[in-house]
Amino acid sequence: MKAIIGKKVGMSQIFDADGKVIPVTVIEAGPCVVVQKKTVEKDGYKAVQLGYEDVPERKLTKGEMGHLNKAGVSPKKHLKEFDLDAELNVGDIVKADTFAAGDHVDVTGVSKGHGYAGVIKRHGAHRLKETHGTGPVHRHAGSMGSGTDPSRIFKGKIGAGHMGVDQVTIMNLDVVKVDPELNMIVVRGAVPGPKGGLVTVRTTKKTILEKKGEAAGISANPQKASARVNPQKASARNK
């Protein structure tokens, strides 16, 4: 289990060895310092608290400064706790080279805020026609349910409301590139949040199954397009 705190720099694209374009997100990760180490004997569980991004002392409370001074750490803006089994001690530095190209990670961030949004933008609802009979309500939610029975709206019904600013985790992204000098981690795909938004990167909780041998990339399911060995498939008969 590995983890680090960082900021989303933005999205870009790179090309692999085969010339295929890969959409990537650049993350400025670390350096982070270990502020506290939780143990089973003292706290009942194992964990490591990381601090990220220097901040003036005047912007922290006395309680926060006391916590950091106890660890001998300079003022930090962000503190996050991770379930790490690594042999880390208070004062150790965690850098971007903790991860390597090919690692699979989960990235957590806070999604972009869109304010008060309607059902079309918030839930992808359909709009009404703009020809005849719809009036000035072509983007409204429409009927919510019967009046007599059940005489109420069921919980979970889509509607207008506050959109975004939710904690979102994108799982099982693979690390494409790591640059320790620039504190940069490049992951395939998109991650939640705006540019400059705080994100956490940790080893994925998904189980990675890799196919080996000649069967790699070929499905055993005859309904799959990759099952070329099935004589019933039209794609196999045409070869």
pTM as predicted: 0.76
pLDDT in tens, 146-158: 888 888 888 888 8
Computed over every residue of the chain, the mean pLDDT equals 85
pLDDT in tens, 196-236: 999 999 988 888 777 665 555 566 666 666 555 555 555 55
Domain ranges of the chain: 114-163, 211-239
Can you give the pLDDT of all 239 residues of the chain as single tens digits? 889 999 999 999 998 888 889 899 999 987 999 988 888 888 888 889 999 988 998 999 999 899 888 888 889 899 999 887 767 888 888 888 888 888 899 999 999 999 999 999 999 998 888 888 888 888 888 888 788 888 888 888 889 999 999 999 999 999 999 998 899 999 999 999 999 999 999 988 888 777 665 555 566 666 666 555 555 555 555 55
SS3 120: helix
Strand partners, 23: 13
Rounded to the nearest 5 degrees, what angle is found at the Cα of 204, between the Cα atoms of 202 and 209? Answer: 155
**What is the layout of strands, in order, in the sheet containing 47-54?**
76-82, 47-54, 32-38, 93-94
pLDDT in tens, 173-188: 999 999 988 999 999 9
The neighbour count for residue 27, using CB atoms within 10 Å, is: 28
Which residue has 């001074």 as its token pair?
69
